[in-house]
């Protein structure tokens, strides 16, 4: 096959093939509390908001909910008070490449999908959905980095990729007696999903994620409360030298988007590895294909 | 001739409370299925005053157990997933019904017409509806109740 015939899966695949059907949405007058319950129940990061004419008018994300918590809005406040409007959309037959472009340009990880009927949202396309779809194609491609790594050897994926190759050495840390408000400041400023909580003698004690924070909001815990009150323990982590497959297993097992990395001993946290990075590497996308460069943060 | 919810509803039904664990709720599902001689996929959730506060369905439990990012990992035939289901079950057992139930429940009254019930079930993709009178659940209408009633009418007319 000549080079000109090789097209990236991003150009060939459409939004229709990668998206998930819309199964969770709320009315504009639903409360923040209902919004939190929906994000927890459906394990999603944002909810589409519908108006009186059954049209999609906005989106409420966990970040918006954290903002409400930060400023002290009552939990019964209607979602339309905190939603972002209008929702960003694409169409069923758009290519994944154009969808990714829009995500990059607008700094979002999610687009809602219009169906064949005018202005009717039928699904949602997230960045992880695209990664999962690409796995299926890149994995079978003759240029897959996994295939090249394995050729002529009996090695497997786990032999060729280690956590240290992907981890990000930059992550947020807070002391256990710092307030939830300080943690929220940090999460917002650094666009991170979680912070590591350490004791005064610098030992990792737990993690506070956006999910932990919105649960605290739902339970009426004041934002001046110490982080240690709501942190998740223990700190789930993997070894610096651990094979990638073990990381994947932990992420699936524990429903994680991020995993801390330790070196030499479990109390020495040195970095963070994200779901997106792991999934991208696992897909085996080779450098010749623009699929390998689908990092949203570039 | 049955025309309204009160004519076809089942008055013998099982309930759970919001503080019930998922493990106990699943036991109740099993008991309800044996009692009804038919698989039961949804239970009414009532508070201490026997007032309706939600519904718990098998779908809610499946949502709970479903790994959040499962769709990213594809067929996962390159990962050893031994023990995943057992771990998911272990974690689900102690979760409370109140945390996963559907709180916005569509209900009908004893006088709701059968065809209205059909309409609700189709539009909202619902297979069971609690019949509520003075804030208390007095019965349940399942799609099977509707189906068998309509079946009888179809056959009697032919």
Looking at residue A295, what is its pLDDT?
55
Question: CB of B63 within 8 Å of any CB in chain A?
Answer: yes
Looking at residue A253, what is its pLDDT?
82
Return the number of other C-beta atoms located less than 10 Å from residue A183's C-beta: 27
Looking at residue B40, what is its pLDDT?
87
CB contact under 8 A, A252 and B69: yes
Asked if residue A168 belongs to a domain, the reply is yes
Torsion of CA A62, A67, A72, A76, to 10 degrees: -40
pLDDT at A231 over 50: yes
| Beta carbons of A212 and A231 less than 8 angstroms apart | yes
> Do A115 and A223 belong to one domain?
no
For chain B, the 3-state helix, strand and coil shares in percent, each to the nearest 5, are 45, 20, 35
Buried b / exposed e along A263-282 (16+ C-beta atoms within 10 A): eeeeeebebbbbbbbbbbbb
| Beta carbons of A296 and A274 less than 8 angstroms apart | no
Looking at residue A1, what is its pLDDT?
42
Using CB atoms, pick whichever of A40, A42, A132 lies closest to residue B71.
A132
CB contact under 8 A, B100 and A41: yes
Residues of B in contact with A43 (CB under 8 A): 63, 66, 68
Question: CB of B85 within 8 Å of any CB in chain A?
Answer: no
Q: Are strands B42-46 and B15-16 parallel, antiparallel or unpaired?
A: parallel
- What number is the average pLDDT over the span A17-35? 91
Asked if residue A202 belongs to a domain, the reply is yes
pLDDT band at B69 (very low <50, low <70, confident <90, very high): confident
> Do A174 and A240 belong to one domain?
yes
CATH number at residue A194: 3.10.580.10
Nearest to A89 by CA among A118, A62, A114, A65: A114
- Residue A234, preceding peptide bond in cis (omega within 30° of 0): yes
Looking at residue A3, what is its pLDDT?
44
3-class SS of residue A85: coil
> Can you name the residues that pair with A50 across neighbouring β-strands?
A27, A56
Looking at residue A89, what is its pLDDT?
93
pLDDT at B67 over 60: yes
Asked if residue A152 belongs to a domain, the reply is no
| Chosen domain end from A126, A145, A171 | A126
- What number is the average pLDDT over the span A196-218? 95
Buried b / exposed e along B96-130 (16+ C-beta atoms within 10 A): bbbebbbbebebbeeebebeebeebbeeeebebbb
> Do A179 and A274 belong to one domain?
yes
- For residue B104, give the chain A residue with the closest CA: A34
ipTM of the complex, rounded to two decimals? 0.76
Q: Are strands A110-114 and A89-91 parallel, antiparallel or unpaired?
A: parallel
Asked if residue A235 belongs to a domain, the reply is yes
Structural domain of A224: 162-280
For B147, residues 6+ apart whose C-beta sits below 8 A from its C-beta are none
Q: Are strands A89-91 and A121-126 parallel, antiparallel or unpaired?
A: unpaired
CA B118, CA B125: separation in Å to the nearest integer? 10
Looking at residue A279, what is its pLDDT?
76
The Cα of A62 is separated from the nearest Cα of chain B by a number of Å equal to 16
Residues of A in contact with B75 (CB under 8 A): 136
CA A43, CA B64: separation in Å to the nearest integer? 8
> Do A106 and A213 belong to one domain?
no
- For residue B68, give the chain A residue with the closest CA: A255
Asked if residue A187 belongs to a domain, the reply is yes
> Do A104 and A6 belong to one domain?
yes
3-class SS of residue B119: helix
> Do A9 and A117 belong to one domain?
yes
> Do A119 and A188 belong to one domain?
no
**For A106-150, what is each residue's pLDDT tens digit?**
888 899 999 888 778 999 998 888 877 777 766 666 666 555 555
Nearest to B126 by CA among B116, B134, B118, B115: B118
Nearest to A80 by CA among A55, A53, A51: A51
Question: CB of B71 within 8 Å of any CB in chain A?
Answer: yes
pLDDT band at A207 (very low <50, low <70, confident <90, very high): very high
CB contact under 8 A, A139 and B80: no
CB contact under 8 A, A43 and B66: yes
Asked if residue A255 belongs to a domain, the reply is yes
- What number is the average pLDDT over the span A265-271? 95
**For B81-129, what is each residue's pLDDT tens digit?**
778 889 889 888 989 999 899 988 999 999 999 999 999 999 988 899 9
Buried b / exposed e along A5-44 (16+ C-beta atoms within 10 A): eeebbbeebbbbebbbebeebbebebbbbbbbbbbbbebb
Nearest to A180 by CA among A215, A227, A230, A220: A227
Tell me what the pLDDT averaged over chain A comes to. Answer: 85
pLDDT cut 70: percent of chain B above it? 95
Asked if residue A155 belongs to a domain, the reply is no
- For residue A243, give the chain B residue with the closest CA: B79
Whole-angstrom Cα Rg for chain A = 21
DSSP state of B96: B
pLDDT at A292 over 60: no
- What number is the average pLDDT over the span A148-153? 52
Looking at residue A294, what is its pLDDT?
54
Nearest to B16 by CA among B91, B131, B97: B97
pLDDT at A158 over 70: no
CA B36, CA B13: separation in Å to the nearest integer? 9
Asked if residue A148 belongs to a domain, the reply is no
CA A248, CA A275: separation in Å to the nearest integer? 8
Question: CB of B86 within 8 Å of any CB in chain A?
Answer: no
- Any idea which residue has 């007319």 for tokens? B157
Number of domains in chain A: 2
For B8, residues 6+ apart whose C-beta sits below 8 A from its C-beta are B2, B114, B141, B145, B146, B149
> Do A114 and A169 belong to one domain?
no
CB contact under 8 A, B71 and A20: yes
- What number is the average pLDDT over the span A30-54? 92
> Do A13 and A116 belong to one domain?
yes
């Amino acid at each position: 096959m000549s080079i000109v015939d090789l097209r990236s899966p991003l150009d060939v695949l459409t939004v229709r093939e990668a998206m998930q059907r819309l199964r969770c949405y709320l009315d504009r007058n639903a409360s923040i509390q209902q919004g939190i319950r929906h994000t927890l129940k459906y394990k999603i990061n944002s909810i589409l908001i519908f108006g009186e004419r059954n049209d999609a008018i906005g989106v409420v994300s966990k970040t918006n909910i954290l903002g409400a918590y930060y400023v002290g809005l009552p939990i019964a406040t209607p979602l339309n008070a905190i939603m972002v409007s209008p929702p960003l959309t694409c169409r069923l037959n758009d290519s994944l490449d154009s969808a990714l472009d829009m995500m990059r340009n607008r700094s979002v990880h999610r687009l809602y999908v219009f169906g064949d009927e005018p202005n009717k949202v039928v699904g949602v396309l997230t960045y992880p959905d695209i990664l999962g779809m690409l796995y299926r194609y890149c994995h079978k491609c003759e240029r897959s980095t996994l295939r090249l790594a394995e050729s002529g050897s009996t090695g497997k994926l786990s032999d060729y990729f280690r956590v240290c190759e992907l981890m990000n050495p930059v992550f947020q840390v807070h002391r256990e007696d710092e307030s939830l408000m300080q943690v929220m400041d940090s999460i917002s400023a650094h666009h991170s999903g979680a912070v590591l909580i350490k004791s005064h003698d610098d030992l990792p004690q737990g993690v506070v994620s956006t999910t932990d924070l919105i649960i605290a909001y739902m339970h009426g815990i004041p934002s001046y409360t110490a982080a240690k009150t709501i942190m998740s323990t223990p700190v789930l982590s993997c070894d610096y030298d651990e094979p990638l497959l073990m990381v994947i297993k932990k992420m699936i097992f524990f429903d994680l988007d991020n995993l801390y990395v330790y070196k030499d001993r479990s109390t020495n946290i040195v970095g963070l590895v994200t779901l997106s990075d792991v999934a991208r590497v696992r897909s085996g996308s080779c450098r010749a294909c623009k699929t390998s460069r689908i990092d949203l943060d570039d | 001739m049955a025309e309204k919810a009160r004519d076809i509803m089942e008055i013998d039904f099982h309930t759970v409370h919001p503080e019930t664990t998922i493990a106990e709720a699943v036991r109740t599902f099993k008991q309800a299925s044996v009692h009804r001689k038919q698989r039961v996929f949804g239970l009414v959730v009532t508070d201490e005053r026997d007032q309706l506060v939600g519904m718990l369905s098998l779908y809610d439990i499946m949502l709970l157990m479903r790994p959040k990012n499962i769709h990213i990992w594809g067929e996962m035939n390159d990962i050893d997933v031994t023990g995943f289901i057992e771990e998911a079950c272990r974690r689900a057992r102690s979760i409370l019904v109140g945390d996963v139930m559907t709180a916005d429940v569509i209900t009908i009254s004893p006088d709701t017409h059968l065809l209205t019930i059909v309409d609700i079930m189709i539009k909202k993709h619902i297979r069971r509806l609690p019949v509520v009178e003075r804030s208390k659940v007095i019965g349940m209408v399942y799609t099977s109740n509707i189906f068998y009633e309509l079946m009888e009418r179809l056959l009697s007319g032919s």
